[in-house]
Structure 1
Amino acid sequence: MDYTQERVATLHDYGDAHPDAPTERATVVVPMTEREYGGLAPESVLSTLETLDVGRVVVPLRASAEKAGAFAEWLASFDLPLDVLWCNGPRVADLLDEHDLNGDAGKGRDIWLALGVAADADFLAVHDADTKTYSPRDVPKLLHPLNSGFDFVKGYYARVENQRLYGRLFRLCYEPLVDALDARNDEPILDYLGAFRYALAGECAMTGEVARSIRVPRTWGLEVGTLGEAYDAAGFDGTAQADLGRYEHDHRAVSGPSGLSDMSAGVVAALLRACEEHGVDVDYDTLPERYRETARRYVRGYAADAAFNGLDYDAADERAQVETYADAVRPPDGDDRLPAWADTALSPDAVREAAAADLDAVDS
């Protein structure tokens, strides 16, 4: 436990923090895919939200036509002011086509659609549904700073379970890559990106104005891309991070479809794109090796931390992951970000109506 501050305001939980928060003025966005249907973790998350006085809950749902109707019925069984936004129905796809916004579908696109629908609220909180340690204090912790003059809030937490350190993509990819870039550049964006204690957390909150102003990557670069946008929308003075304690999530394999290797490509691309846009001179010829050297130092530090706490730690495996992530350290390809809602002619009401009609057609 510590009480130090970072370049952004850092709000600590010293034991039982449960701050007052404007939950009744907030919309909570909880993205789900069909794999969450009836699961214990999402059921716990939704049951906990039932105990909070939230203004609205929006679930952007990515599911097949065969599963969407039953999923929506299950969600309706919770005593919540809940809207289901089926993100991959045919009418939604046609609507996006009309505005040249269709394309790759992923968590980022789902959340972008939900931000448009939910941005009429004063405040928004966004969090995942696979959290096994979800607490009724989490949403108030994320929202409280917004009622105190901040515009964007990031959650952070410890990824320690089963006697092991997790959060590997953050520890072994993001963190050392930002460090390697910062060693040769003094652009403020790197101070901002390096200030977050868990930059890849899916938990964040923002004002409705910020939600309307940010561009959102479609897939794996979501969390990092959002930070790059928050730097412009909120800056150092308008940003806070809140201690959400200790979180247990589902874990991914390093290789294979949707594994950490695939995710690292999106994370690195979003990070480097944000850096390039904010004046960082990225030397791509030397960056992969500088990243490797920095990451090996991080491995030594995490090995010492694990030993200090009596945790299991496989340093060789972590070094092998560094080599895997190093393959992603290259110039980013084309920009896949969706535009800020303030800059598009697409109507959030039209999205809401199309998604509802798609669900009605499945149910009928």
Structure 2
Amino acid sequence: MEYVQERIATLHDFDGTVPAAPTDRAAVVVPLTERDHASLAAERVFSRLERVDPARVYVALRAAPGQLRDVVRWVDSFDLEGEVLWCNAPAVESRLDERGLGGDAGKGRDPGKGRDVWLALGVAARHDYVVVHDADATTYSVAHVPKLLFPLANGFQFSKGYYARVENGRLYGRLFRLFVRPLLRALDAETDHLLVDYLLAFRYALAGEFAATSEVVRSLRVQPGWGLEIGTLGDAFDAAGFEGSAQVDLGTHEHDHRAVGGPEGLGDMCAEVGAALFRALAERGVDLDYDALSAAYRDVARATIDQYAADAAFNGLAYDPSGERDQVDQYAAAVRAPGEDRRLPAWNDCELDPETVRELSNGAIDEATAD
């Protein structure tokens, strides 16, 4: 237990209190795939949301037409104001293609979870506040949404969750522990840009749980892939800054884990996270020597491994320093200049009307689920 503040307001959970929060003025966005619905974790999340009773829950769904009926019925089975936004509905995809926003602008790449979240954010911004979180946390609590909303009702514009990733007798959160955090520390030694200080202030910069005012939500240029969380923080830096940002303690977090290698493994995720970070710095005029930064990152990350080894031993946790050093070597390949900018436009600057997306989705769902 500790009570230390960062450069952003850090709200600790000292006694498990659920703070008073304007849930009746908030929408909750939950990205979901057809394989995730009805899982034990998703059941827990939506049953807890019943008790939170937000104004609206928008399920940003990516599913095949044949699976749609089951998912919609499952969402409708919960006692909450839920609405499925079918993000890859043919009519929605067609309209996005017309605007150059479909399938990564026709390049044949999966637009990713980030685009689904972006679509739902546009619709959800009709409400005063928007909360975003995944549906795979087996430790999800009725306190999560109120905790994330509390700062917004008390003068802040953006809030993000942080938590410990410890389960099954070992430390997780590898991409953040072994890549993002040591990379930010290496960058801090190379540049004095305030964005680096801002990112370092967040105790879990890759947490998917965040909340923002509708004004901030409409200003976000969302990354379509795994750079979603870092990219969001980059825009939050501009929209809310240190004084307008807060982070809240969500306790201990358990959810699905990914392998390091293979398609959509941590190695692939790392490349997109790094690209999002370096693009945010480049557009703010930060010029980096990537070879020197890669070497500095390795040094910091390897020293960090020694610290984690001591922490794990102190708590009786299993720890594999050699395996974590191997991961650092793999992640170092992501320390390179960012490629093309794949960000989606801020809804403030987008010609597409979110209500049109909603209408197209509803029509496609009605057609696909008609008896």
TM over 0.5: yes
Contact 2:114 2:225 (C-alpha < 8 Å) held by counterparts: yes
Q: How many residue pairs align between the two structures?
A: 364
Structure 2 distance, partners of 1:329, 1:52, is 41
Asked if 1:160 corresponds to 2:166, the answer is: yes
Moved more, 269-278 or 141-150: 269-278
Query: Which residue in the other structure is 1:292 paired with?
Result: 298
Asked if 1:334 corresponds to 2:351, the answer is: no
Structure 2 distance, partners of 1:233, 1:293, is 33
Query: Which residue in the other structure is 1:275 paired with?
Result: 281
Structure 1 distance, partners of 2:17, 2:288, is 41
Moved more, 123-132 or 274-283: 274-283
Q: TM-score, normalised by structure 1?
A: 0.99
Q: Percent identity?
A: 60
Query: Which residue in the other structure is 2:40 paired with?
Result: 40
Query: Which residue in the other structure is 1:144 paired with?
Result: 150
Q: TM-score, normalised by structure 2?
A: 0.97
Structure 2 distance, partners of 1:157, 1:277, is 30
What is the root-mean-square deviation of aligned Cα atoms in Å? 0.8
Query: Which residue in the other structure is 1:259 paired with?
Result: 265
Structure 2 distance, partners of 1:184, 1:100, is 37
- Give the Å deviation of 1:2: 0.8
Contact 1:133 1:247 (C-alpha < 8 Å) held by counterparts: yes
Moved more, 68-77 or 19-28: 68-77
| Equivalent of residue 349 in structure 2, options 318, 343, 348 | 343
| Equivalent of residue 203 in structure 2, options 197, 203, 219 | 197
Query: Which residue in the other structure is 1:8 paired with?
Result: 8
Structure 2: gaps spanning 5 or more residues: 105-109
| Equivalent of residue 228 in structure 2, options 198, 208, 222 | 222
- Give the Å deviation of 1:129: 0.2
Query: Which residue in the other structure is 1:62 paired with?
Result: 62
Structure 2 distance, partners of 1:97, 1:110, is 14
Letter in 1 for 2:227: G
Structure 2 distance, partners of 1:287, 1:69, is 50
Letter in 2 for 1:165: L
SS of 2:241's partner is coil
Structure 2 distance, partners of 1:69, 1:58, is 16
Contact 1:185 1:281 (C-alpha < 8 Å) held by counterparts: no
- Give the Å deviation of 1:285: 2.4
Query: Which residue in the other structure is 1:133 paired with?
Result: 139
SS of 1:280's partner is coil
Contact 1:225 1:274 (C-alpha < 8 Å) held by counterparts: yes
Could you report, residue by residue, the CA deviation over 1:222-262 in whole angstroms, capped at 9, with x for unpaired residues? 00000001000100000000000011011111111111011
Query: Which residue in the other structure is 1:50 paired with?
Result: 50
Contact 2:53 2:80 (C-alpha < 8 Å) held by counterparts: no
Contact 1:125 1:203 (C-alpha < 8 Å) held by counterparts: yes
- Give the Å deviation of 1:280: 2.3
Query: Which residue in the other structure is 2:119 paired with?
Result: 113
SS of 2:250's partner is strand
Contact 1:31 1:107 (C-alpha < 8 Å) held by counterparts: yes
Structure 2 distance, partners of 1:276, 1:194, is 17
SS of 2:131's partner is strand
Letter in 1 for 2:7: R
Letter in 1 for 2:67: K
